[in-house]
A and B are shown apart, each in its own frame.
Chain A
Amino acid sequence: MLLPETRHIQTKLGDYCKTGILPDIPGINKKHVKHYRRLVFNVVKNNLFQAFPIVIDVIGKVKFVQLIDEFFSRHHAQTSQIWKLPGEFYEYAKTSDWVEKYNMPWLIDLLLLEWIEIKVHTMPDRTAPETQIQGDLFTSHLVINPDFEIIKLSYPVHLDPVRAAEQKKGDYFVLAFRNRDTGAVRFLNLSVLHAFLIENMVKEKHSLEKILQNSIDRFSIEDITQLKTAIKIFIKDLMDQRFILGFLKQ
């Protein structure tokens, strides 16, 4: 059994690597122990630099390292897989005071946008039902590419530079999906109605016709013909981009 003293020594060395504050540890080489802090911090820093290039471009490397330092010294990283650490960084940022402290209202949205790209690019493969080419857009069951996420943003950081996005607070929806052949992630700006349609197509597994009926009630739409025309263009675009894979094979 590990003695409390040994446990305490090991924990102190671990804490030093997180915070950079060197405690008194018996028998250590004080000149060389600093390399552990440097190596540990560099691993984390390199990982987060790779994950958030746009955030770094906007706020600068010095500020970003400052955020990493705070995150790593205060947060207890739970994932054993470092490529998932950017997700923990994003979650930590949500609970931090960074937005107010540094006057960056768009920061959380921008972190989310970059994290979602990693998440969708790496997410485990999900199986999709077999498809066929023939079918009717409104009455047949459409098969959706299952490797996707829809996120909601308060600032359109996916459309505009952050200074411009800062002036346009609202509700924005973004679809991120992974091309099943190339593995590349694509982003699409969605209206509220589009986001509702996609989420219901996945959840309810109904035909578009039925989901549209629900949309009409939900969004108080009066011109159904115009709606159908617009939706048809939207769905065809999703098919061209391989987000909708085809019609369910009968």
Chain B
Amino acid sequence: MKKYAGIGFRRDIANEIIQGEIVKPSFIELAPENWIDMGGYWKKKLNEAASIYPVTCHGLSLSIGSPEDIDWEFLKKIKNFIDEYKVEVYSEHLSYTKSGNAHLYDLLPIPFREDALNHIVDRIKRVQDFLGRPIALENVSYYTPVAAEMSEAEFVSRIITESGCNMLLDVNNVYVNAFNHKYDAKSFLRKMPLDRVAYIHMAGHLQIEPDLIIDTHGEDIIDPVYDLFDFTTQMIKPVPVLLERDYNFNDIEKLQVELATIDRICSKNWINQHHAVA
């Protein structure tokens, strides 16, 4: 069976990933912000892992939807990092993390509005020009709309299409948002520019109120999200798929079970298609 599923290179499971005995991903994903400028013990571990696995990068601080200016000095460091580690996919979030000249270190929802859309499209183009490569943007989970004047589906779809960037399709986020905002997940997916999907995220979540799910990256993936993933992969070309897990690493073997489940679904749907991951 071909392998499509990768895993986030987290410090808690760095040694297990490097050993590759229990957890056997086909690639690793890094948040470059957590590794840039870093030396010592963790730099050695990173280099060790990068010598074994292909690397993708999933940024946290680009803040593409921010009212603030783009931090070009920061982006220069990103560019150097993705060059140094021969990164195959550099992705970011369709959200903002900086506001009022302050970093907030989490993903805030952007108002779904025409001016915000144009603002972001322009910024994506400038970032892609600077990096000399396309970026992939993720549909983020959100817990409240903010001054919306159009649907999430229109906002996300038009940004991807009009900017020419790729899409990181987070299937769990589609599930979470469909639940939180009471829409049909499959019809949302059909409205996405699926030919632009270059990368997929899968993750667990936590329902914390009767009408609210939070995208935690700390739980097992539930069956309805696997079902949605199955549905999605039937409509797109083969791409790398990441299992996102940020904490709760008590049972490493279960991570491998999740990777294998993802691989099984991919193989079923992509068996005759070209494999996109080395």
**Residues of A that sit less than 8 Å from B by CB:** 1-3, 6-7, 9-11, 13-15, 17-18, 25-29, 31-33, 35-36, 39-40, 43-44, 47, 75-85, 121-126, 147, 178, 182-184
Number of A-B contacts defined by CB within 8 Å = 148
Given A15-B100, A77-B105, also A6-B116 (CB < 8 A)? yes
Chain B CB count within 10 A is highest, among A13, A33, A78, for: A13
Chain B contacts for A35, CB-based, 8 A: 143, 208, 212, 214
Contact indicator B145/A29 (Cβ below 8 Å): yes
Contact indicator A9/B214 (Cβ below 8 Å): no
A84 to B34 Cα, complex, angstroms: 10
Q: Is B252 an interface residue (CB 8 A)?
A: no
Nearest residue (CB) in A for B148 is: A27
Contact indicator B103/A28 (Cβ below 8 Å): no
Chain A contacts for B1, CB-based, 8 A: none
A14 to B103 Cα, complex, angstroms: 9
Contact indicator B67/A40 (Cβ below 8 Å): no
Chain A contacts for B66, CB-based, 8 A: 10
Q: Which 9 A-B pairs have the closest CB atoms?
A: A14-B99, A183-B41, A125-B39, A80-B61, A29-B144, A76-B102, A7-B67, A2-B119, A183-B40
Nearest residue (CB) in A for B144 is: A29
Chain A contacts for B105, CB-based, 8 A: 40, 43-44, 47, 77, 82, 85
Task: Count residues of B near A (Cβ-Cβ below 8 Å).
Answer: 47
Contact indicator A81/B143 (Cβ below 8 Å): no
Q: Is B152 an interface residue (CB 8 A)?
A: no
Given A25-B147, A33-B143, A81-B33, also A178-B40 (CB < 8 A)? yes
CB < 8 Å neighbour of A124 from B39, B98, B104: B39
Contact indicator B115/A122 (Cβ below 8 Å): no
Chain B contacts for A31, CB-based, 8 A: 209
Contact indicator A124/B116 (Cβ below 8 Å): no
8 A-B pairs besides A35-B212, A147-B39 with CB distance below 8 A are: A10-B96, A13-B146, A14-B96, A29-B143, A77-B102, A81-B34, A123-B39, A124-B43
Chain A contacts for B103, CB-based, 8 A: 77-80, 82
Contact indicator B143/A6 (Cβ below 8 Å): no
Q: Is B159 an interface residue (CB 8 A)?
A: no
Contact indicator B115/A124 (Cβ below 8 Å): no
- Min Cβ gap A190→B in Å is 22
CB < 8 Å neighbour of B104 from A17, A29, A121, A125: A17
